[in-house]
Structure 1
Amino acid sequence: MPKQKEMRSALLLLITACIWGFAFVAQREGMTHTGPFTFNAVRFALGGLSLVPLMLVLDRKNSKTARMQTSSSSLAASVAPGLLAGVILFCGASLQQIGLMYTTAGKAAFITGLYIVIVPFLGLFLKQRLQLNSALGAVLAVAGLYLLCMKSDLTLGKGDYYELAGAFFWSLHILVIDKVSRSADVIKLSFVQVLTCSVLSFAVALATETIDLADLSKALIPLLYGGICSVGIAYTLQVVGQKNAQPTQAAIIMSMETVFAVIGGYLILDELLGYRGVAGCFLMLAGMIVPQLPQFKGLTSRSRA
């Protein structure tokens, strides 16, 4: 893979991480006015709408190139993978949003960032090798999770459980996007997945929450940022960036969202983690980075055939 493409992908994924990191702040702030499923339904709908003009412009441009697919055929090819990615996205986004009702933006981001450790372990089911680095990274991350989240009664907080469950879906989402982004139209793929997530969120919101326009207007700024920036821009950049990046490489770059989330929580929400929390963050960050270092010599494990 040309170095220039790798650098471009890395830059796009880093921008994605920055947008997502500050989105934790917007999501938590928006929760003071509306329910988690209503918030997600509206922000993903806004994100999908923001992609429509881009799709129209690109289709008009591509229609002039004979070797490009037609608009209808490229959209059709993006539906199945987009629906799959959208369902997984709905699960991850729902768990994350509910968790933010009970934990801070910084903690939510760091727990979500465990996908950098989970992704290699999920690779075992694809008969990939488990390197010693990944095992060590998992140990460091779990130690950091303990310091960051464990209370005096040695239990995880309610919100922490939701975020931890969500981390598995974010890991699965990274692997799915890596698989489907190489063959589908990335913009249409992004559109289908966010639209799917929005429809599913609306369905649950109508059944479990009260959708109030007055409350939505109070959450307008978080919704606009969470919709246009976090969904419309960032999820599209993720799909484009992962087109020329390996899953674990993409995961380590996107895990920087945790750092941006802590910065945003400190600057905007006055959230402090304390010394124990800061130590936990550093251990988790180390656990995220170690699997991406040059492989240590030692025992490796293969999944069963």
Structure 2
Amino acid sequence: MPLSTSARADLVLVLVTLLAAAGWIFSKEALQGLPPLLFIGIRFVLAGLVLLLISRAKWHWLKRADLLPRALLLGVVMAMAILTWIQGLDKGQHLGEGAFITSLGVVLVPVTAWLIYGERASGNTLLALPVAVAGLALLSLNGGFNTDPGQFYFLAAALLFSLHFTLMAHLASEMPAVILAAVQLLMVGMINGLVSVFIEPWPEVVEAGIWGWLLASALIATSLRFTLQTYGQGLAPASHAALIMILEPVWTALLAALWFAEQMSAQQLLGCGLIFGAMLISRWRWVRGLVMKRAS
């Protein structure tokens, strides 16, 4: 019996969240042999080139003088977000914790949209924010003020990702998703690679295994992930897709526990739970609609 469109969308998007979570593991392993910014530069240039090659039929969009500068600006914002995220990944001690902090960007998107475009934040968002802040406090104040330095980078990344998501919403409908992603990925790779040239020492020799993790990050966790995400989002409403994408930090925490034997204290687990709850609260209208649809 063939799967329904809705079921296919669910399966594809759940797979996307798993690939995104796996990307945290791939990246952490690659950082054992590559400087953070050099790694990001190579990873995103490779991923961007792959997407550009598979979207040759849409290259004429790159000639749109009204859209390309905005796409490049999005790439700059994304590059800043990724730059801070990779620093958090390099300096942080807990991948799962970092994933939940970074996911605060989802909660902050409506606030950013209000600050930039004057869009009113919903009551659910206003309710979710203090819950998210409480969760972040439990993570950050575990054992007092001896904060993991990676948390500050992850929080900065969350703020920048919320800005990127907000700006993206006003351009994504005007430009093919694959071309828009390719431009942004290439910008991320080139900017981080350029910064790396000036501030990072490059290793003389890189083990073959590190190159394997790099390729997995570029081809599986970036190019393949985005291709599947584009396909899945085409099958499901945006609200439905966004709800499923909330699973990413959950998978990341589970994979980190399995791969790196990471452990969290009860306080840290509660903090992650509150942040996850804040994401659900901020999207409560979608959660309720999805539940009612499944029940009918």
Interval of TM-score (by shorter of Structure 1 and Structure 2) = 0.7 to 0.9
Q: Secondary structure at the match of 1:182?
A: helix
C-alpha distance in 1, partners of 2:202/2:209? 13
| AA partner of residue 99 (structure 2) | A
Conservation of the 8 A alpha-carbon contact between 2:142 and 2:268: no
Q: Which residue pairs with 1:64 in the alignment? A: none
Q: 2:173 aligns with which of 165, 182, 190?
A: 182
State the 1:106 CA deviation: 0.6
Q: Which residue pairs with 2:292 in the alignment? A: none
C-alpha distance in 1, partners of 2:184/2:232? 16
Q: 1:123 aligns with which of 94, 101, 113?
A: 113
Q: Which residue pairs with 1:20 in the alignment? A: 20
| AA partner of residue 121 (structure 1) | V
Q: Which residue pairs with 1:223 in the alignment? A: 214
The size of the alignment, in residue pairs, is 278
C-alpha distance in 1, partners of 2:160/2:8? 26
State the 1:13 CA deviation: 4.4
Q: Which residue pairs with 1:150 in the alignment? A: 141
1:263 aligns with 2:254: yes
- Listed as ranges, the matches of 1:86-125 within 5 Å are 86-103=75-92, 104-125=94-115
1:9 to 1:196, Cα distance in 2 relative to 1, 3 A: farther
Q: Which residue pairs with 2:155 in the alignment? A: 164
Q: Which residue pairs with 2:55 in the alignment? A: 55
C-alpha distance in 2, partners of 1:54/1:293? 37
State the 1:252 CA deviation: 3.8
- Listed as ranges, the matches of 1:271-290 within 5 Å are 271-290=262-281
Conservation of the 8 A alpha-carbon contact between 1:81 and 1:189: no
CA RMSD, Structure 1 to Structure 2 (Å): 2.5
Q: Secondary structure at the match of 2:206?
A: helix
1:83 aligns with 2:72: yes
C-alpha distance in 2, partners of 1:157/1:85? 29
State the 1:11 CA deviation: 5.5
Q: Which residue pairs with 1:67 in the alignment? A: none
1:234 aligns with 2:221: no
Task: Extract unaligned runs of 5+ from structure 2.
Answer: 287-296
1:253 aligns with 2:240: no
1:8 to 1:139, Cα distance in 2 relative to 1, 3 A: farther
State the 1:289 CA deviation: 0.4
Conservation of the 8 A alpha-carbon contact between 1:99 and 1:163: yes
1:209 aligns with 2:200: yes
1:52-97 deviation digits (Å, cap 9, x = unpaired): 44123xx2xxxxxxxxxxx553222363233122111111111111
| AA partner of residue 111 (structure 1) | I
1:165 to 1:238, Cα distance in 2 relative to 1, 3 A: farther
Q: Secondary structure at the match of 1:156?
A: coil
| AA partner of residue 214 (structure 1) | V
1:179-225 deviation digits (Å, cap 9, x = unpaired): 22211122221111111111101101110112336226441222112
State the 1:47 CA deviation: 0.7
State the 1:242 CA deviation: 5.9
Q: Give TM-score, length-normalised by structure 2.
A: 0.84
C-alpha distance in 2, partners of 1:285/1:212? 38
C-alpha distance in 1, partners of 2:122/2:204? 51
1:274 to 1:229, Cα distance in 2 relative to 1, 3 A: same
State the 1:177 CA deviation: 2.5
1:72 to 1:131, Cα distance in 2 relative to 1, 3 A: closer
1:242 to 1:94, Cα distance in 2 relative to 1, 3 A: farther
Q: Which sits farther off after the overlay, 133-142 or 217-226?
A: 217-226
Conservation of the 8 A alpha-carbon contact between 1:133 and 1:292: yes
Conservation of the 8 A alpha-carbon contact between 1:16 and 1:237: yes
